[in-house]
Structure 1
Amino acid sequence: MTAYIEAMRRYATFSGRSTRSEFWYFHLVVLALAFVGLIIDVMIAGPNEPQPLFSAVVVIGHYLPSIAIVVRRLHDLDKSGWLALTCLIPVIGIIAFIVIGSTPSKPHAQEPAGPVARGDQPARQSNSMGSAEQIERIEKLTALRASGAITDDEFAALKAHILQKLQPLGTPA
């Protein structure tokens, strides 16, 4: 339910990333809500000619967040959000939806941006960073792991990359 609430909080946010679990839990909750809406529709109008009033409201109300979560999921795969349009093609759209939701995240996509990408510090001439910057990047990784954006294995690999391959300032590379 947390993934659903997080997705609804970012109702129309098309930037950023969404994990596989957030993607699938959101769509599972929407499916369950639509089913409950259909049951209410049948109870009101009868089983022979139900009017899809409540189920339609559920589906229409979740249309924009569904598109947004598909776009964010594509960003998590290092793909353009415009590929979400493939989900609108009959038959192919179902296959594209399943592939988008099932493909594992790209580990290098989750690595926090370095100082050059953030634009708040000048670029360094060497491939080294200070311990304060290492701590900052590890804290960002910890936040990504806590939010479910990266797995424990991805966290460990990225942390090792920061600690082992990048030397602190003042030490030979």
Structure 2
Amino acid sequence: MAEPVRARRLTDAEGQRLQQIVRRGKGSTVRWRRALIIMASASGNTVPAIARLVAADEDTAREVVHAFNQKGLAALDPRWAGGRPRRITDDDIDYLVETATTRPEKLGRPFTHWRLRKLSAGLAENPVRVVRIGHERLRQLLREAGITFQRTRTWKESTDPDKDAKPDRIDAVLA
């Protein structure tokens, strides 16, 4: 039979901190329950009794005790990863960036430059590889990649054949 799970011997500072958390009962409920589990285990209670005391599963009580034995008081604040799983892989992001940097005409689209809605629709309707992505996430990914669809305007070159003569005419009128 396996040895019962018990919290290691508490230092004076740890015991005072745990008592402070349990007595005040303020703050996070998760932190309070974890502190109660550790105190109960350190005082010699069994895992089933602790689980009934805090209305938790026995496996949860064991996990908290093991975490405390390994990490100390850092076990009071679990580092849960939240949020939904990613729907877009890194390969999809690379493909998305590659598509965004390619002119739509080369991909058989009937327009000259991308917009967010056009790019999102084009990725979702692509027969080769379908990438479904919302406009906001697409905007964020493009911004991270340093891609903007705003056209850079420049006045360095003019297509006007009389461009050299115009400054002279303006100077003559002002003089």
TM-score, structure 2 normalization? 0.22
Normalized per residue, the structure richer in helix is 1
Of the two, which has the highest radius of gyration? 2
TM-score, structure 1 normalization? 0.22
- Relative contact order (C-alpha < 8 Å, sep 6+): which is higher? 1
